[in-house]
Amino acid sequence: MFQLFLIAFRNLGTHRRRTLLLGGAIAGVTTLLVILMGLSTGMKESMLRSATTLATGHVNVAGFYKVTAGQAAPVVTGYPKIIEQIRQDVPELDYVVQRGRGWAKLVSDTAAMQVGVGGIDVQNEPGFRRVVMVKEGSLDALSRPGTLLIFEKQAKKLGVKVGDTLTIVAPTMRGTSNTVDVTVGAIAANVGMMSDFNVFLHAATLRSLYQLRDDTTGAILVYLKDLSQVPHVQARLRQSLEKAGHILMDNDPRAFWFKFEVVNREGWTGQKLDITNWEDEISFISWTLTALNSLTGVLIFVLLVIIGVGIMNTLWIAIRERTREIGTLRAIGMQRRRVLLMFLFEAMTLGALGTLAGATVGLGVCLGVNAANVTMPDVVAVFIMSDKLNLAVNAGSVIGAMVFITGCTTLISLIPSFLAARLKPVTAMHHIG
C-alpha cells in the first residue's frame, strides 16, 4: 500500500500544472464550504444568543389565561409555585427567571411604534447582562420601577435619549386601555432582528400597566447548562406539571403570539400552560438559517459536479498517456485490483491535499474576519441576527467537510480507474507501439 501511495504522489508531482489546477479547484470548494459553514454556525449562535436573551429561554413554561371564552391573555398565574417545582424537577438547570409579556404602543413627543414589552427583574438575569451591551445609561437603572431599556434603532426612530419620558399604551385583560409613563434608563446596542421590536422595563411596572397580580407573569424561562438536554427537559416538564394538576395545551411549535387565534376560538376559561423551547419561539425567523443551508448545499453540489467532471477528464487523459506504463505493470504481474487502487490513491491524495489547503485558507479567513470585528449594514444584520459578522468554526464540521470532499473525488475516479484496470497488457502495449 505504501508503494501505491508513493507512486500516486510521484505521478501528481510529475504533472504539476494539472495537479495544481485540480487541487486548486478542490481547495477553493473546501474554502468556500468552510466559510459558509462558519457563517451558518455563526448565525445559529447569534440567533440562539439574541433569542434566548431577548425573547425566550431554552425551555419555556408559558400559557394563556381566559377571563371569558373569547378573550385570552398570555400570562401564567401562581408562577412562584411553578418555579419551585421546576427547580425540583430539572437537575440540569442553570438558572430560571420569570418574564412579563405584552404588546403595546410606545409613544414619544415625535413618534410612536408598536413593540413587544418584556417585564424583567434585571438583578436575576445573568444572561441578559452578558449579551445586552448598553451604549447610554446603565442596565442597573432597570432595577427601579418606571424605567425602560430600548435599543439604538428604536431610540433613533422615537427621537429620545436617556432620561427622556415615554408613554406606554396597552389593553388590559378586561379589554380597557391603560397607560404608564416611563423614563428611558438605558439605550443598548442593536442585537439583530430581535431588537427591532422588543423593549424591557421593570416587572412591577409591566404588572401595573396590565393590572396584574404580583404572582402573575408572562412566561417562566428555563436556562440549561447543556443545550442538548432541551428535548428531554421539555418532555419531563410536560409530565411533571400535568401530574401536579396543571392543564396543558397541546404541543404547538410556534411563537406564542401565533396562538392567539386558536386559543380564542376554544371554549374554555381559566389557566392553561404551554411548554415550548427556544426553537419554537423563534421559528418565524429561523427560515433565514434554513435558506442559507439550502443555498450552501446547492452551491457545493454544483461545484462538486464541475470538479468531478474535471477529475474524470484528467484521469482519462492520464490513462491515455500512461497506457504503456499500465501495460508494462500488468505484464510483470501487477493485478487489476492494484492498478485500480493506484489510480484511486492518486485521486484520494489529490483530494486530501486540496481539502487540507482549502480548510487552512478557510479557517484563516474566518479567524481574520472575526478579528477584524466587521460591522454589518442594517439590512444584513437583520438576517444574520447580529450587527457584527461572526464566522463560528467547528473543528468537527471542518474535518467532516474534508472527508466528504475527499470521498467524493475518490468515488468520482472509480469509473476511469476501473477501465484502466481492465486494460489487457498486450492491447495496452500494442496501442502505444
424: helix, strand or coil: coil
With 70 as the cut, is the pLDDT of residue 385 above it?
Answer: no
- Hey, what's the cell of 190? 442593536
Q: Which helix (H) or strand (E) holds 179?
A: strand 177-188
371: helix, strand or coil: helix
Q: How is the chain split into domains, by residue range?
A: 2-49+286-432, 57-281
Q: Which amino acid is at 342?
A: M
> What's the pLDDT at 432?
47
Tens of pLDDT, residue by residue over 188-236, are 988 777 777 889 999 999 988 888 888 999 999 999 999 889 999 999 9
Quick one: which of 365, 317, 375, 370 has its CA closest to 343? 317
By residue count, the chain amounts to 433
Q: Are 382 and 196 in contact (CB under 8 A)?
A: yes
- pTM of the complete model: 0.72
Q: Are 309 and 383 in contact (CB under 8 A)?
A: no
> What's the pLDDT at 221?
93
154 CB-contact burial (10 Å; exposed 0-12 / middle 13-18 / buried 19+)? buried
With 90 as the cut, is the pLDDT of residue 84 above it?
Answer: yes
pLDDT-derived band of residue 433, with 50, 70 and 90 as boundaries? very low
In angstroms, the CA 290 to CA 269 distance is 38
